[in-house]
Chains A and B, each alone.
Chain A
């Protein structure tokens, strides 16, 4: 079974600064998908960014980018120019090759200081 680990329960960043959230995972599959989800206080799960394991190029979505290291099984999220609205829980998630099970990490609570 796959496991996803987020080693930072809480992170803090100054507004307009850059922050990196860490995620590692364990799998025996070679093809899979990785995601970062944002969960604000409303508890809605919002997709931030997605990475296909077969793509070497790191995914980027505006101020959000990932550092995907397949051999190291690492998938970190970088948030540039942090904004107050970025404050939320962030979950890293692994989707298996069959596409029928999404496994979440324990989450990182991001605080943004004005």
Chain B
């Protein structure tokens, strides 16, 4: 069964460093999403991507964040200058219409 994959599973970085989180969505899906979950808290929407552009974004998704689909398979989330409060689980999801499939997540730890 096709699935969304994410790499790395765990990323540790120093405050102020740039990180890139990678996702490979399910191949025939058209919508791509990033969510984050701070430990013990709710899952928060960051951004959705459709037809090679951002479709919707939340207040969290400020200028420090960017997304890209550099080729036909990968979907990346870049955080330019990480802060301590960016420590969270980051989930990628993809959808062919109206049912999202989530990846296993990347745990980002900012020291």
Instruction: Evaluate whether A102 and B37 lie within 8 angstroms (CB atoms) in the complex, with A47-B99, A50-B99 already known.
Output: no
Chain A residues with CB under 8 A of B98: 33, 50, 52, 95, 99
Residue interface mask A92-111, B partner, CB < 8 A = 1: 01010011111111110000
* Interface range, A side: 20 to 34
Complex CA gap A106/B33 in Å reads: 19
In the complex, whether B75 has a CB less than 8 A from a CB of chain A is: no
Tell me if A's interface is mostly helix, strand, loop or mixed: strand
Residue interface mask B46-57, A partner, CB < 8 A = 1: 001010000110
Question: Within residues 76 to 111 of chain B, which ones have a CB less than 8 A from any CB in chain A?
Answer: 89, 91, 93, 95, 97-102, 104-105
**Partner pick for A100 among B41, B43, B50, B91, CB 8 A cutoff:** B50
Closest to B56 in A: A100
In the complex, whether A84 has a CB less than 8 A from a CB of chain B is: no
- Whether the Cβ atoms of A98 and B102 lie closer than 8 Å is no
In the complex, whether B44 has a CB less than 8 A from a CB of chain A is: yes
- Whether the Cβ atoms of A91 and B43 lie closer than 8 Å is yes
Chain B residues with CB under 8 A of A42: 104
* Interface range, B side: 20 to 34
Measured CB to CB, the closest approach of chain A to B36, in angstroms, equals 11
Closest to B42 in A: A106
Complex CA gap A93/B93 in Å reads: 14
Complex CA gap A104/B33 in Å reads: 14
> What is B's interface to A at a CB cutoff of 8 Å?
31, 33, 35, 37, 41-45, 48, 50, 55-56, 58, 89, 91, 93, 95, 97-102, 104-105
28 interchain pairs, CB-CB under 8 A? A33-B98, A33-B99, A37-B102, A43-B105, A44-B104, A44-B105, A45-B93, A45-B102, A45-B105, A46-B102, A47-B100, A47-B102, A52-B98, A95-B100, A98-B55, A99-B31, A99-B97, A99-B98, A100-B56, A101-B45, A101-B56, A102-B33, A102-B35, A102-B45, A102-B100, A104-B35, A104-B43, A104-B44
